[in-house]
A and B are shown apart, each in its own frame.
Chain A
């Protein structure tokens, strides 16, 4: 099939063996790329291992659209068995590494084993080397990015783990280009466990597409369509930060560890305030609607902001100063900590302090304490160490019913949307395949636009549709999901791009089928790795069911547990899973996953 480099690069850091393997046609046809490749490889090769042992593997996976001259294609998926959740973990990162990997002649890299000493993996077309990097160990991701750009060239594709990942902190992520992040469920720690400080990629070749002329023409039209949208200018001014005012108005802004949905100081730090402080814009390769907005933080250093990190490190911890939030965000990026999990962890500690469950006094909005906690979380020391393994583990250690307000699903912290009054979005978090990520099915806008408080079948059907498009297609293609919704970029473009690239005509129905296969295989992976996995893992925390907000549009509202159960059952029915959320044999057969049924027979 055209449009793929066709090679998988396998690197064993224990024995230094480097090999190149053909990617089968069935792999391309059935799993497309990105997340699809990642879960297939993890299913086949990573079975019941300790995520931080040398037996775990980390996958860097692109898809046929990655790095192509079409809108927002500079993406790749980083996946592994998660040290945070114990299940399938991945994240999507915008990075030059995506473009360079394809040009170097590979679609996927599998890194296995563990290097004796800290190392870098350097990929320069056919030349692949493991280079000792002891001098970089312990250094933050910004300094290492600078160093590697000087050594290998400013245009190199670079993926890094920070000091947090080196310290095996399970809420650590992978960083690139001083602010791009991906792999929330502890992908940084998996790199750290392998003593892999970073990956440097430089490619000079080209991708063998079916029809380059057609792709070039279609890509050009796509970029022009995006620039011509009426929402484009505003997007370029505020990016995802427009969601701040939006969420506050709708009572969805995570505030004081998700206790409230509106923040009394929201107007001091919303997208309009961002515009006043704005000094630069950053984005991923191949993107003409960059979402990263750079401001000078409270130490006058450049820091890149978007809605998620402002929501979680601002109102969720009671902090009202955007420049101080920017500083916390920069610290997180330097340490290689996930900003969402970090904001949730700090909010958890502030609430625990308020309740007198820990001895330290940490008030809401305490900026100095928050900085100290970030350092402690990154080191796994002191009070911060309580949440460095995530709020699920923290609540298990703390006890005293703290699980009720430990804001996570499946061990992954909930991102910046408070769902007391959004049952569809609550189900979206509940059924996201990596834990509580907003990326797979951001249904909240659709449900507010239609019938916000309903628990209808139509809402569940829409949720599955969004998962198929976002978590299934975009994560596997791999391209960014933002152009579609944020500026109404037409979905019809994607099958057209795929056909120009691969030479094969596929409809959205065909792509849905691939998405369903990927979701079901991820579900099977969770079940195989965690035998007790099942329905109870698909529930958001009790706070959303039991503790209504005291103010705002959804004051007094909570998610109805019985109706949530009904939605969840219907979701399983649509997915072809049983009442415990485990794929049915006939579903596995239909999705051509028969080998999966054989392997987890005990589950049926």
Chain B
């Protein structure tokens, strides 16, 4: 169901910022989805469940939010400001 297939145009894009990129293993992933799935199914088990920013198509979301191909998802840490 899920695979990194950059030659496929119909994909969902996941972008990871800060330490979340370390946990995800990359700063950007593209996944091909055969059906809409909750975000948490696309993430490694140790990915944080709280204190993070999740935006789907620039709108606030959660790990339970469902995404499909062509969605753009951003994961960011909560920062404190310098």
Contact = CB atoms under 8 A, between A and B. Distances in A.
A binds B: yes
Interface in B11-58: 15, 17-19, 22-23, 46, 48, 51-55, 58
Interface string A527-561: 00000000000000000000000000100000000
Contacts of B51: 488
Nearest to B76: A246
Contacts of B74: 249
Interface of A: 230-231, 233-235, 238, 240-243, 245-246, 249-250, 291, 306-308, 311, 415-417, 438-439, 442, 444-446, 448-452, 481-482, 484-486, 488, 553
Given A445-B53, A450-B60, A482 B17 contact: no
A245 B81 contact: no
Contacts of B15: 249
B23 to A, nearest CB: 7
A contact face: mostly helix, strand, loop, or mixed? helix
B22 A444 contact: no
B22 A485 contact: no
Interface of B: 15, 17-19, 22-23, 46, 48, 51-55, 58, 60, 74, 76-82
Nearest to A247: B79
Contacts of A485: 78-80
Contacts of A240: 79-82
A357 B20 CA distance: 46
B81 A235 contact: no
B79 A445 contact: yes
Given A445-B79, A448-B53, 15 more contacts: A230-B46, A230-B48, A231-B18, A235-B19, A242-B18, A246-B77, A249-B76, A250-B76, A291-B82, A306-B82, A449-B54, A481-B80, A484-B80, A485-B78, A488-B51
A446 B50 CA distance: 12
Given A230-B48, A488-B51, A553-B58, A445 B18 contact: no
5 contacts: A242-B17, A245-B17, A246-B18, A308-B82, A438-B81
A306 B17 CA distance: 18
Contacts of A553: 58
B12 to A, nearest CB: 18
A96 B33 CA distance: 55
Contacts of A231: 18-19, 77
A486 B22 contact: no
Nearest to A306: B82
A442 B80 CA distance: 6
A238 to B, nearest CB: 8
